[in-house]
Each structure stands twice: as C-alpha cells, then as structure tokens.
Chains A and B, each alone.
Chain A
C-alpha cells in the first residue's frame, strides 16, 4: 500500500523548502533549495526530485504552501491551503514542542518573533524597514571574510573577547567590522561581536517590548548559526532550543495545516495536480496595464501556453478575470 503523505512548500526570499510528512507528522523527506530568484524553476526542480525518489511509493493526501511566494507555489502545484509563514511556523513548532511560548525566527530577509500563550498564537512581529541581521547579510559577511557560512557560527564560538560591533544598520555594521579588522582584532572576536550585535538589534527592533518567556524555539535558516544561538542565550539568560528541522518549519506547518484541512470531511480531495506538473512547461509574462494612472505591472503565469493565474493589479480587474 502506498504511504499517505502531505506536501508542504515554503517559497522564501532566499531558499525554497519542500517537505513530505506522513500521517504521524514525521518528516519523510525535506529539500532545501536556493530560490536564486527563480521560484518557478526551483519548485519544479523540487517536485522532480521528489517524483524520482517516491512517485511509486507514496500518495499525496494534501498540499499546503507558505512563504512570500506562497501564491505562486499554490498556482503551480494546486495547493489545498495557502497560509502565511507566521501561522505555519507556529503550527509546526507546537506540533513538536507543545509547550513552546516564544518562537524566534530568522530567515533570509525576514525575521520575526511569535508569542504563543495557551497553545495559540497571541502576538507576533516582523522586521519592518530593515533587514539587518538576517541570513542574506550573514551570507554576505561570510563571503567577504572568505569563511564558508557553515563555519561562521562555529568560529564565533572560539571567541574569548568579543568585539563590540554597531549592529543597528547592516551597512554600518559592515564598515564597523572592517574598521575593527584593520585595528587588528581577531577574526573570531569580530564574528562573535557581529552575532551579539545582530541579536541586540533583533531584540530591540523586532522583539521590541515583547515578553520572551521560555521555552524558546529558534528556527529559520540562521538558527544553524551557533554563534547567534549562543548570543541569544547570553542576552536572554535562558537556554533556547533549535528544533531538528529548524530550516523547514514553515513547510512542515503548511503540510500539517493542509492535511488537517483535508481531513475535516471525507468528501474533500486534494487539488494537487500530481508530480507530472513538473514535466510541463511554465512561462511567466508580464505587461503594464494602461487602465488607469496606477500602471500596475500584471504578471501572468502560463502552463503549456494556458494562463493559470494573473496578479499584480490593484483593482482586481485582471486577477479576478480568471479563476485561480
């Protein structure tokens, strides 16, 4: 008998995550791919990988999409639910750690804090105008210093006298780091100093005024960075947990929610188009609507030359003209 699985897809700014979970919510397979500015190609690639590996042995019960590219992913695969990343992160965390009270999440360009009280989300905040301290910035610094990003956190742990880095702004943090390097500070001290600065920045800008109660989970791509984790623990004065699947929590949450949705009634069937969609030809075309002074840029998604979806308009003239 085929194993019944749910598929969760999280299309983020930097990485795209695909997750298969079984009926006990155990992760069967997870893929972590670079979005590289081509979300469609990446989703298709992810589906191909899953198809090659599992096609004959599993049955897809439900599909959920999340992340900033959730609409796009939904159109491509035929999702049952499309959910924002805050809810999906919370759902996945609560599934694994039901007592969680606080979730710290730092991704490629977003960072957020989610407060959970009595097992439901009570409050959240996201970074607003500034992306200092998110994954992209850390990537860039690692690149600049010629250190593989995987080693970045470990190196920070060897620091004995962390340097004080101004972390309020990514641009100034970088110039401050360069300055400190030129003054002769040890590289690991500069790196851990940066970790501390980013944590300070996160706590004062994103988590501003919110009560952080243990147990605290730390997830998102940056959670792999041991330096940041240590800096958080020092600053908060409590131990924090990084879940096993820290970098695909959003996708897990989407898969869980999709299955819950399908299970609500027996008559509900998944919208999933099947893995074969990966073999089809996708195209995106855009044009500027001349209907009014807003000049919205309309995006059209084609599958084998058939329009699947349109969006980008403010008035709804184009997006509502076809059923998605």
Chain B
C-alpha cells in the first residue's frame, strides 16, 4: 500500500497525468478526495463548473482562503520576479492549500475556444507551481486545449475522471450535470447583471427557477459604469483594493463582460480592425464596444495588473478608441503589490467627481457626448 502511494506520487512527478491510468496504481486513492481549488485566476471563470463536477463525482472541494496579506507575501516570495501580480497571488493560494488537501486542481489551460489562446502564463502555470514550490500534494494538471476545432472539452473531463479513478459513465453524468449548472449560472449573471463573486459567495450555486424570482430591484443607481479587466483582478477584493465594494458605495450600477452572451461579445469584437489573438483580451474589447454602442454608459473603469503583456495592448486599444469615438470619462487603474490605497482612492474619487460634474451641467454633458 505504502509502496503504491509512493509509486503513484512518482508517476505524477515524472509523467504528465495523462498516462497515469494504470488501475492498480489508481485503486489506492479510490476514496473521497479533498480537491483543492486555488481562489485565484480561473477560479473566477470556472468555479461553478469545477465545483459541481467534483461534487457530482463525490469529491470534496476545498477552496483556499480569500487573498490576504499572507497569501500575497508568500506568493510574491515564491514566484518568479517578472510574473504579474495575479500569478504571484496564485502561488500564495496553492501554498495555502498545500497541507489541507489530497490534490490541487491546476488545469493547464491553453485555449478555451477554437482559434484563440489564453495568456501564455496559464499554459505554464502547473510547471511554474511545481518548480517554484516544494512539498505539494499531487497536482491535477490536465490540459484543456480547444484551439483545434475538433478538440473536445469532454476529453478534458474524462482525463480528470481518470485521475479520480472514475468510470467514463460516471464522468459523463457528472459532466452533464455540471455543464448544465454552469449554463444556468451564466444565464443568471447575464439576466440579473450580477457580479460572479456575489453569486459564488451567496452559495446559490444550485440554481433553480425560484432563485430567479427572488431578486428584486433595489434603489435606483446613479451611474452606470463599465468595469473592464480580468475577473481575477476585479473580483479579488484584496488585489483590487475592494474596488467592487467602493463602487457600490457610490451607488454604481456595474456592468462587466460576464453580463453579455458570446454572441454579443462577438458582435462588439467585429469593430476591431483585426482578429484578437487572446480570448480574454477579446472578451474585454468586444464587450466594451457592444456596451458602448448599445447602452447608455456614464463612464469606464479599466483595471490591469502591472506587467500584464496582453493588457498593455488591450488597454491601449481601448483607451484610444474610447477617446476617439465615445468621449466618455475613462479611468485606468494599474495594480501591483506596491500599489498604495491612497492614490487609488484619490483617482476613484476624482473620477466620480467628473461623472457628477457632467451630470450637473447638462449643456456640457451633451456637447461632450
């Protein structure tokens, strides 16, 4: 038994998980496993999907603690210098999980739609983690690559199932439940214009039609602000210095790209002179153009992390286009571990002074638009 565990660990270390399919090896972990999901990066996109899938396979899902001072400190120390803040934070979250779980789920996400890629740092994430951190439990680093049209997302889940020693039938069942639930979640967000983490935290992840009805419109918001940036920056309250909460204090109606369907994002992205290479950047630009063309938006806040390659281009494209075509107040916030909250708040306050100024001087308002 003990030998098999060691053999199993060796297999994980020396092979990609894909070939660890040997049943004699796998049997030893045929129990309820504690699967750790770091509360960072793709957690903010796929948590409802992953959680449901693992739960359906009767595994326990454990999340790392919300980002805090310790997470950041550990992450920044462990990660390579040139990584962006969210990747450094991810390291901290993995370290937070290390002693609490049997395996950590860090899928190698290469591409999530045909013809487009995710930022290269996601491709190398499992390696970055393995080489920067020691004493980790097994890492589930199954590849997800849908770049090729023929690639199937199901194959990705089968491989995860294989790691957990589950039959294809069990995986298939879990997959369909999870994917249906995920579709429901996405619709819910679009319909009620919710921030993903609001839905995560309320733990109404078992959506049913009753949840749809319980939402009522509260007090009327003053401003509608388009909030652009990566979910792992925007919704991580520590990284974003409580941006969402602060916006709520200003009584702002926040709109983000999650509130649009793929079709609408596609429609918006058509305004680009050239096809966008990165999925995430394209989502940001496509949704921005769609919202700006189809809805009345009072202002735009764009959040990027210092050192983000794709964002340096996406942000620039966006800012120029907004300046030329839409003439809306635009606030660019750049975040890294050295960011001071005082400067951040000052910018935010001044931005809302601009919005209010435009509101109170109607004549100027119309001439600016």
**Residues of A participating in the B interface, judged by any CB pair closer than 8 Å:** 68, 83-87, 110, 117-126, 128-129, 209, 292-296, 314
Contacts and interface: CB of A to CB of B under 8 A. Distances in A.
B3 interface: no
B334 interface: yes
A interface, over-half SS = loop
A121 B354 contact: yes
B242 A314 contact: yes
12 contacts: A83-B353, A86-B347, A117-B364, A120-B358, A121-B353, A121-B354, A124-B347, A128-B334, A129-B338, A209-B323, A294-B70, A314-B242
Nearest to A110: B343
Given A118-B361, A124-B350, 18 more contacts: A83-B349, A84-B345, A84-B350, A85-B346, A87-B353, A117-B364, A118-B367, A121-B350, A121-B354, A122-B329, A123-B329, A124-B354, A125-B332, A126-B346, A209-B320, A293-B70, A294-B70, A314-B242
Contacts of A296: 69
B256 interface: no
Nearest to A127: B343
A212 to B, nearest CB: 14
Interface of B: 65, 68-71, 238, 242, 306, 319-320, 323, 329-330, 332, 334, 336, 338, 342-343, 345-347, 349-350, 353-354, 357-358, 361, 363-364, 367-368
Contacts of A84: 345-346, 349-350, 353
B357 A292 contact: no
Nearest to A68: B342
A308 to B, nearest CB: 19
Given A68-B342, A87-B350, A120 B329 contact: no
B71 A293 contact: yes
Contacts of B334: 128-129
B68 A294 contact: yes
Nearest 5 A/B pairs, CB to CB = A86-B350, A118-B364, A293-B68, A84-B349, A120-B357
A209 B332 CA distance: 13
Contacts of A295: 69-70
Contact of A293 (B69, B329, B364): B69
Contact of A86 (B69, B332, B338, B353): B353
A169 to B, nearest CB: 15
A48 B28 CA distance: 78
A129 B333 CA distance: 11
Contacts of A68: 342, 346
A294 B69 contact: yes
A87 B345 CA distance: 13
A293 B95 CA distance: 14
Contacts of B338: 129
Contact of A126 (B323, B336, B343): B343
B369 to A, nearest CB: 12
A55 to B, nearest CB: 33
A118 B354 CA distance: 12
